[in-house]
Amino acid sequence: MQNYKGHVVVLTYPAQGHISPLLQFAKRLANKGLKATLATTYYTVKSFDATTVVGIEPISDGFDEGGFKQATNVQAYLESFRSVGSRTLAELVQKFNDSASPVNCIVYDSLLPWALDVARQFGIYGAVFLTTSASVCSFFWRIEHGSLALPPKQENMPLLLPGLPPLGFSDLPSFIAKPESQTAYLHVILEQFSRLNENDWVFSNSFEELESELVEAMLGLWPLMMVGPMVPSAYLDQQIHGDTGYGASFWTQNSDKCIKWLEKKQPKSVIYLSFGSMADIVAKQLEEIAWGLKASNKQFLWVTKESQNKLPIEFVNSLGEEGLLVEWCNQLEVLAHQAVGCFVTHCGWNSTLEGLSLGVPMVSIPQWSDQPTNAKFVEEWRVGVRAKKDGEGIVTREELKVCIEEIMVGENSEEIRRNANKYRELAKRAVGLGGSSDKNISQFVMKVIKDKEKGKSKGQQA
């Protein structure tokens, strides 16, 4: 049995976009010599790859048979997870404490702030992992500290904040622009930022070179450590042997079918489209995207998940070899393929980081949450363009066609591609040996190893 020098339990919110970066962080810790255990809900355990170097342990959210879909609403789910999850996470920590590998630290998803209380209960370190960009996190920090109103007033636009570009109302996260739309999630997010300084570490899935102005503006104000991008090592630094995927997926991936199809295409000729694991795109928008793709005269690979039955039947029947529709795929494998020249994305933070890490120019069609802000930054970094919406909030077929042409053959396409490659190299450097993110992770690991006993004394003083 391996003699570990420390043991970290990593707790994730049970959604694909949260599991992926937190599992990847756990792999980074394991690669540096810590025992890393990912705690997830019973309902999601079956989605994990058994070969991962990280231990997977279940805890309960109170809905073990059906997970989130069993709950009546978001608030009911979050309240159940808080009460049942606190108890079962404590039981998991106690189980390890009665073994040869006691837990020294809990790293927890920022949507689960109650995990910090469990860490304090055992007198061990507690660290929060922020799954959105540092820039988006800075909004919530400012709201909590009274320097940003919620919601901001239209007449105060553009919003001018240190370390950020001027922001219009449509550039703001939906939780901030329309706080009444997601009150349950907003409540736990603001709770987390009210307790930020109680954590021993605050990790962000980003890297210093990507958000340098924000990092400089917030220096000394909050205890942030950049550790990203949390993308499988094979696509960046190759420090973790065989790390070609995240190691968990809620959907069956059609990777072989996708790669075989891509192999027949010319370099940089294919448009890849995916709108993430949570997007529910209205039929009219899907129809406009479909006909916009057709009008572009480009070949495309489109991940449609449950949306295929909303697409126009004439569109589906006309695809031939020009288009491929799949329910899910290994996005990294597709983005890394030489045939892909453009990524049409909802701009979820994971997808944005993957696009940057693989150097693929993007067309952004944001939907909600932090996506509008991420889309703004894709434009600011000049690695892509943001599709404009009409008065009904729809990206028209004509607009999509224009955006695709700008990326693929437009007068700025070469500059956009150069910038995409530049950020790819910066991402590689950040997580590579001795890079900014790698140093931050190593610093954390050394602290856990060095001060295993310190957590106990902290707990005794509490």
**For residue 430, how far is the Cα from the chain centroid?**
17
3-state secondary structure 219-267: CCCCCEEECCCCCCHHHCCCCCCCCCCCCECCCCCCHHHHHHHHHCCCC
The 10 Å Cβ neighbour count of residue 160 is: 10
- The structure tokens listed for 412 are 């700025």
Residue 102 to residue 119: CA distance in whole angstroms: 12
Q: Where are the beta strands (DSSP E) in 150-208?
A: 201-204
**For residue 46, how far is the Cα from the chain centroid?**
21
Q: Which residues contact 340 (CB under 8 A, 6 or more apart)?
A: 262, 268, 270, 271, 272, 301, 334, 360
Residue 166 to residue 176: CA distance in whole angstroms: 16
Does the annotation mark 49 as catalytic? Answer: no
Catalytic pick among 49, 64, 98, 109: 109
Catalytic pick among 18, 200, 237, 346: 18
* 366 cis-preceded (ω within 30 degrees of 0): no
Q: Which residues pair with 274 in a beta bridge?
A: 303, 345
Does the annotation mark 390 as catalytic? Answer: no
Residue 378 to residue 384: CA distance in whole angstroms: 6
Widest distance between CA atoms in the chain: 70
3-state secondary structure 38-79: EEEEHHHHCCECCCCCCEEEEECCCCCCCHHHHCCCHHHHHH
Report the catalytic residues. Answer: 18, 109
